[in-house]
Structure 1
Amino acid sequence: MSSVTGGPPLGAEAAATVDPSVTDVIREAIIRGEYAPNQRLIEADLSAAFSASRATVRTALLELAGEGLVERLPNRGSRVRAISVDEAIEILEVRIGVEGLCAAKTAARLSDEDAAALADLRTRMIESVAEGDLVEYSRLHLSLDVRLRELSHHATASEVLARLHAQSVRHQFKLSSRPQRAKVSVLEHAAIIDAVVARNPDAAELAVRRHLLSVIDALREVSAAEAGPASAG
């Protein structure tokens, strides 16, 4: 059996076997921390785990490498790319402008039907935190991020955000799994939805900015707290 990088080049036939669901499942596993930073991703193991062909898995890993979640190593296959807190903060700083733009665009053109759907999402997010279901809350706020990109109808911003979000969301997922942080975060997300539903582009952009700056502050606090015991030793 050939090694991960020793097989034939990915041609049109292999590319045609791509299964978006495999890419999505591996992406979510990385985001949730099921695959640790720098962990090797063995094609044969992934193929068996997801009942997918090696070509499909290889294509999924190439796509995730393009998103910055996976690192391809010469003659050594693939591994989960380690994204430092500092890099995640830089990504969040870039997201402030682009994500704020999407929220403003969405607020300016929101339909009544989409407004009702966002209001329902707001309710479910608040309920999930109140019930302590932080996994569901994380899923819902990821859905909100995607929906705001879609409703903005801004193709360039959406493409940029999809890539940036995938790289920084693993750190955000760790934050949202902390009950106290989730209680703060859900109110920030509710404020974003309220501004968008009110069709107020300036308020929507400001709400996004406040939320992402809050995420940056929280990441710095957690990073400092985690580094404290190590540096003390």
Structure 2
Amino acid sequence: MPHRDGPITGEQAKQHALVRLREAITRGDMVPAQRLVEAELAEQFGVTRASIRAALIDLTAAGLVERIPNRGARVRVVSVEEAVAITECRMVLEGLCAAKAAARATDEQVAELAALGEAMAKAVADGEPLTYSELNHRLHARIRDISGQQVAVELLERLNAQLVRHRFQLALRPGRPQRSLDEHLALIEAIRARDPKAAEAAAHAHLASVIEALSST
């Protein structure tokens, strides 16, 4: 919110703008190729244009924003080919996290993953693909948290943020949520069985399926 005496400035303002912009892009509120006009964003977020400019520089480095010569900034467009390449990297890192989670998960954490699996199954049965997509995202995030592999977690957060549009599109494809559900339930079961190799294999199988779906776009 704007300060009553004018826009907020400095590092606080930059961080405020950075958080708001990242959330808008990763939620899909700002879509690929959408122009990011500094003056408009500064007014919207109650910060200075310099703060917006600094935030856009950080988001460009993170792969969420791109600068077009003489045109300013826009939300970065991730091609199908790049989405496949990103998912290939995810496969390795998600497999590592799944294996670590299988070795570390407490009974309470396993129950939490199972509950997410049940909610995902309900979303598919009820024909709610966007709810399923959000639960899918939460499941992967929770497995990463349980893994304790912080380096992999940070890398995956950066990679996943670039795939948000493709994730939504896959969730809306007929038949895709059911196949994805089966893959996730196998992953949850492997973690429940405390079987790191099976968990890693299940993560790899799921992401290989995502790559196949992306490639057929």
Map 1:29-108; keep pairs closer than 5 Å.
Answer: 29=27, 32=28, 34-49=29-44, 51-54=45-48, 57-73=52-68, 76-108=71-103
SS in structure 2 of the partner of residue 79 of structure 1: strand
Is 1:177 aligned with 2:172?
Answer: yes
Amino acid at match of 2:126: E
Aligned to 1:229: none
Structure 1, residues 174-193: CA drift from partner, whole Å, max 9, x if none? 10122311111111111111
TM normalised by structure 2 equals 0.85
Quick check: 188-197 or 122-131, which moved more? 188-197
Q: Is the 8 A contact 1:125 1:186 kept in 2?
A: yes
Q: Is the 8 A contact 2:113 2:188 kept in 1?
A: yes
Post-superposition offset of 1:71: 1.0
Q: Where does the alignment leave 5 or more consecutive residues of structure 1 unmatched? A: 1-12, 223-233
SS in structure 2 of the partner of residue 16 of structure 1: helix
Q: Is the 8 A contact 1:96 1:208 kept in 2?
A: yes
Post-superposition offset of 1:164: 1.3
Amino acid at match of 1:202: K
Q: Is the 8 A contact 1:27 1:64 kept in 2?
A: no
Aligned to 1:164: 159
Quick check: 69-78 or 167-176, which moved more? 69-78
Post-superposition offset of 1:58: 4.1
TM normalised by structure 1 equals 0.80
Q: How many residues align?
A: 206
Q: Where does the alignment leave 5 or more consecutive residues of structure 2 unmatched? A: 1-8
Is 1:22 aligned with 2:20?
Answer: yes
| Distance in 2 (alpha carbons) for counterparts of 1:26 and 1:100 | 28
Structure 1, residues 192-222: CA drift from partner, whole Å, max 9, x if none? 1111122111111001111111111111112
Aligned to 2:118: 123
| Distance in 2 (alpha carbons) for counterparts of 1:36 and 1:145 | 23
* Aligned alpha-carbon RMSD (Å): 2.1
Aligned to 2:5: none
- Percent identical among aligned pairs is 45
SS in structure 1 of the partner of residue 162 of structure 2: helix
Distance 1:113 1:87, change over 3 A: same
Post-superposition offset of 1:161: 1.0
Q: Is the 8 A contact 1:100 1:206 kept in 2?
A: yes
Q: Is the 8 A contact 2:133 2:171 kept in 1?
A: yes
| Distance in 2 (alpha carbons) for counterparts of 1:118 and 1:216 | 24
Aligned to 1:155: 150
SS in structure 1 of the partner of residue 139 of structure 2: helix
Structure 1, residues 48-84: CA drift from partner, whole Å, max 9, x if none? 44x4424554454334323211113456431111111
Post-superposition offset of 1:118: 0.8
Amino acid at match of 2:39: A
Structure 1, residues 14-37: CA drift from partner, whole Å, max 9, x if none? 2222126514432234xx3x4343
Q: Is the 8 A contact 1:172 1:215 kept in 2?
A: no
